[in-house]
Structure 1
């Protein structure tokens, strides 16, 4: 495995669809033009590649000065537990090290919680913060 990372690279919709569907994020892939536009309009996108295969992606939205929101971090299942997600997180956090608020919203599962806590994120259910969200599931 020879993983290399690229920032703000133009992405092929087929590669993106394969990555998101591997994670079973099918609400995204039901409208691929919309997903591709969302990726294109992101503040920053860092991708992980095994030769010419897209194996991971992290994307950030926000103003890049006072807040970033890590919208997606995703690694193909067969490449998980290889440090790719941590490297993507490390690169994005280094790029926005001056930003005070770094936010993300994710499913609550033990392995997910462990990953984010390992990367110095605190859950809003533990501490003085509170988080609210309104989702449209269509």
Structure 2
């Protein structure tokens, strides 16, 4: 299996729906046109493909100079634990290596915490940082 990474913001709705629904991110698939527009308006989108099948995606928002925000990183369940998310993250961190603030917000889970910590991120519940979010 050869997974190809592509920088592209224009991804077919059915491919996006299959990926986001597989990982049960249903809030995104309620309005696929809005999801397409969100990708289009993102600073950077990197997708992972197995032939013509979308198997993973990372989406970045921000100014790309002083801050990036990792909005989405997801991989089809059947492709997880094969290094795809790490490849996506590695490419983003290389692409934006000069940016000082790299931020993300995610739900707490042991495997999630492990993934981000092994990629150099520190949880704001450790250290001197504080994080706030307002979710509507």
TM-score (normalised: structure 2):
0.98
What is the CA deviation profile of residues 16-50 of structure 1, one whole-angstrom value per residue up to 9, with x for unaligned ones?
01100011000110011111100111000000000
Question: Which residue does 2:21 correspond to in 1?
Answer: 21
Distance in 1 between residues matched to 2:129 and 2:7, nearest whole Å:
31
Residues 1:70 and 2:87 are matched in the alignment: no
Question: Which residue does 1:97 correspond to in 2?
Answer: 97
1:1-138 to 2 correspondences below 5 Å: 1-136=1-136
Q: Is the 8 A contact 2:10 2:36 kept in 1?
A: no
Task: Provide the aligned length of Structure 1 versus Structure 2.
Answer: 136
**Matched residue SS, 1:65:** coil
What is the CA deviation profile of residues 25-77 of structure 1, one whole-angstrom value per residue up to 9, with x for unaligned ones?
00110011111100111000000000000000001000000000000000000
Q: Give the deviation of 1:10 after TM superposition.
A: 2.1
**Matched residue SS, 2:55:** strand
TM-score (normalised: structure 1):
0.97
**Matched residue SS, 2:58:** strand
Cα RMSD for the two superposed structures: 0.6
Q: Give the deviation of 1:127 after TM superposition.
A: 0.6
Distance in 2 between residues matched to 1:56 and 1:85, nearest whole Å:
7
Q: Structure 2: which 5+ runs fail to align?
A: none
What is the CA deviation profile of residues 56-100 of structure 1, one whole-angstrom value per residue up to 9, with x for unaligned ones?
000100000000000000000000000000000000010000000
Q: Structure 1: which 5+ runs fail to align?
A: none
**Matched residue SS, 2:93:** helix
**Matched residue SS, 1:87:** helix
